Amino acid sequence: MSAADATILLVDDHSVVREGYRSVLQKQPGLRVVAEAADGAEAYRLFKSEAPDLVIMDLSMPGIGGIEAIRRIRQWDKGARILVFTMHQNAGFAVQAIRAGARGYVTKMSPPETLVRAVMDVLAGKIAISPDIDHELALSRISGESSAADVLTPREFEVLRLLLAEQTTEEIAETLHVSPKTVANLHSLIKDKLGVDSDIELVRLALRQGILTQVDLGEA
């Protein structure tokens, strides 16, 4: 391990998946995994203490999600390089992640080479998008339908995600360290922006746009 090795922080709530990253990245010279986190809050903490050259981050995690973690890290260090590596093959998520400050977006469907390539690109200062997401983005541009990701600010999108995942307004307020009133206001604003009247329509729209997938229903 030379001093010139690029240091990496892995963020994913599944330990075996992190093991997979490691295995793939270890084969690549010049890279060194220096820390691992299982959720957004831990990622933020470790970023501050370890100051890695690159963060590889999943999006769907317990507590504060990947988008919010990206926001916080970028707020702490404007130059932070974050590569999103997620199962969500969805243009909306990609748009939100990039807006929040991510420098790359690769799906877990991609072959390992794509991940390695993206890591190298981001470290070299480029923006890296995996081909399937490029395709999704192209499609969403053609169909021209305004997705939730287009009209919502990052903060609103994060609240939407938590609304779909967490239970109560109070819990979300605590997670985001804001007043319950603010969450309620955002909840209302989100429905307004998306043109739905009820929470039921909101969930249906989220399902159609892939913001909430069937796999997310797991946490009973």
Residues interacting with DNA, by CB under 7 A?
153-156, 169, 176, 178-179, 181-182, 184-188, 191-192, 197, 199
CB of 101 to its own copies, least distance (A): 21
Question: Do 102 and 84 meet the contact criterion of CB atoms below 8 Å apart?
Answer: yes
61-to-66, 67, 76, 138 alpha-carbon distances in Å: 7, 10, 21, 27
Sheet holding 6-11, edge to edge: 31-37, 6-11, 54-57, 82-86, 104-107, 128-129
Q: Which does 202 bind (CB under 5 to 8 A by kind): its own copies, DNA, none?
A: its own copies
Q: Which does 154 bind (CB under 5 to 8 A by kind): its own copies, DNA, none?
A: DNA
Residues numbered 65 to 94 that lie near its own copies (CB under 8 A) are 85, 87-93
Q: Which does 120 bind (CB under 5 to 8 A by kind): DNA, its own copies, none?
A: none
**List of long-range contacts for 194-202, beta carbons under 8 Å, 24+ apart:** 194/148, 194/151, 194/152, 199/163, 202/160, 202/163
CB of 114 to DNA, least distance (A): 29
**What does the binding site for its own copies look like in residue numbers (CB under 8 A)?**
13-24, 60, 85, 87-93, 108-112, 115, 136, 140, 145, 163-164, 167-168, 197-204, 207-208, 214-215, 217-220
